[in-house]
Every structure is written in C-alpha cells, then in structure tokens.
Amino acid sequence: MLKLFRQNFKITNDCIILVTPLIIFLSILSWYINFAFNSIDDVKKLLLGIFTLFIMFSGFFASWLYMTKKTIEMSKKVYIFDKDRAGDFARLLIALPQGLGKLFIPIIGATAIYIFIYFGIYCILNFLITKYIGYVDLSAIDIDSLNLSSKELIAFVNDLDINDMKVITAWYFSSAIAINVISFITILWIPEIVYKNRNAVKALFSAVKKCFNNFKELFILYIFMLCIIKLLSIINTLLLFIPILYFFVLIITYYFIVYFVVLLFTYYEQKFTNQ
C-alpha cells in the first residue's frame, strides 16, 4: 500500500489537468449558492434550488469522473511524437460531454441513494438520542452569530448544562461513526460505476462485497485518506484569517481532492480490472 501511495503522487501530477474543471465547477457552485441564499423566499424556490444543486452535482461528477478515468489511461502512455500527446489531450476535453452521456444516470442514482441513506441515518439517530438522552433546543439561538472567534459561541457553550453536553456529544460521535462507516463500505462504489458501467444499485452491492473481501487493504487506504483530510481541516481552520496562506492551503486541498480520486481509481484498476 505504501508503494501505491507514493506512486499515486506521480500519477496525480500527470493528471493535474483535472484540477481545472474542479476549480471552475466549485466557483460556479459557490456563486449559485450565494445567489440562491439571497433569492429564495418560499418553499417552491427552495425545492427548485435543491433540485438544481442535485442536477449540477450529478452532471459535473458524471463528466469529471469519466474524464479522470481517461486521464489516468493517458498518463500511462509513452509518447514519441508531440502531436500524439496533443491529440490525446484534445480527446480529454471531449471526455467531459461523453461522461455526461455515459454516467449521468448511474451517478444521479448514486447521489439520490446517498441522500436517502444519510437522511435515514439522521432520522434513526434523532429518534434514539431524543428518546434515550434528550435534545437541545436551538430555536432561540442566533446560529449565524456562533462562529469560532465570537463571544456568543463561548457564552453558548458555558450556558449548556450536563444533559445538553451529553446530547451534543452523542450527536457528534454517533454521526461521525455513522458517516465513516458508510463512507468506508461504499469507498469503491463510484469506481465500480465508472469502470463497470453498472447501474447504481448493482454497483453498490458489488462495491460493498469487494470492500469486505479486501477489508485490510481498504481500511489502510481509508485511514490514510482520513488522516490527510483531518490534517487539511485543521490547517484550514488555523489559517482561515490569513488570506495569503489560506489561498495556498486551498490549492493544496484541490490537489488532494484529485489525489484521492486518482488513488481510488488506480487501486481499483490494479486490483479488479488488471486481474
């Protein structure tokens, strides 16, 4: 696994073009979310905004993930003539609309299933925690005023009693455990869709089966990814109010997003397609 982690940095560097569409999409997404927050004033507009985000996410990732697969294939080629490299580079741009046609339905299905799974987990946790531990009434709290540097957050924490702290702690740990378990057992779901062209449901069952059959390797891979994510999260928080350094860390974050996707795809290729 260590060899795979090291080699994947070189592969990611060869596939660095994938950062460009990712940054463009996230910029458009940020603009749309800001626009939606300022313009949504009724339930119909809210539902339309959620549906638009759902389609945007599914459409982009269908295109981008297919482009990722093609970029990894291109990175393995040895080119004698520059014109051959230029031709393959041009075909990468064509891969975006091709991916939309090939993977949009499976990806939109996977996105819908993910939403259903996490909504179900939320309902279960809400029922269990409310019934056996209690609940915290946040209706009178100005959530917008609670930020990491505000006195309001400190006052809010100090006003919590023991039962409230138990509820918040239970929510934190139970949701963290549930999210990590779901993320781990579905870690091969997207590669399964991209490489096998299966529908979302069949790909899910196949991916979960592969996960348990290769539990040790995938557990190491997942812990490696999780540690980097936590480290980047801590650094982002510490440098949030230092614009120059924060911009630098943001670029590193984009790089590792591509690294993680390429890592999963490379592992899947070596383990399940090359065999």
Sign of CA dihedral 146, 152, 158, 160: negative
Categorise residue 225: left if φ over 0, alpha if ψ from -120 to 50, beta otherwise. alpha
Provide the 8-state DSSP code for 141.
Answer: S
Residue 172 has phi, psi (to 5 degrees) of: -65, -50
Q: Please list the pLDDT of the chain residue by residue as tens digits (275 residues).
A: 778 888 888 888 888 888 988 998 988 888 888 887 777 777 888 888 888 889 999 999 999 999 999 888 887 776 666 666 666 676 777 888 888 888 999 999 999 999 999 999 999 998 888 888 877 665 545 555 445 444 555 566 666 667 777 888 888 889 999 999 999 999 999 999 999 877 899 999 999 999 999 999 999 999 999 999 989 888 887 776 777 777 888 888 899 999 999 999 999 998 888 65
Q: How many residues would you count in the chain?
A: 275
Residue with tokens 């490299």: 85
Residue 47 has phi, psi (to 5 degrees) of: -65, -40
**What's this model's pTM, rounded to 2 decimal places?**
0.85
Total Cβ atoms within 10 A of residue 172: 10
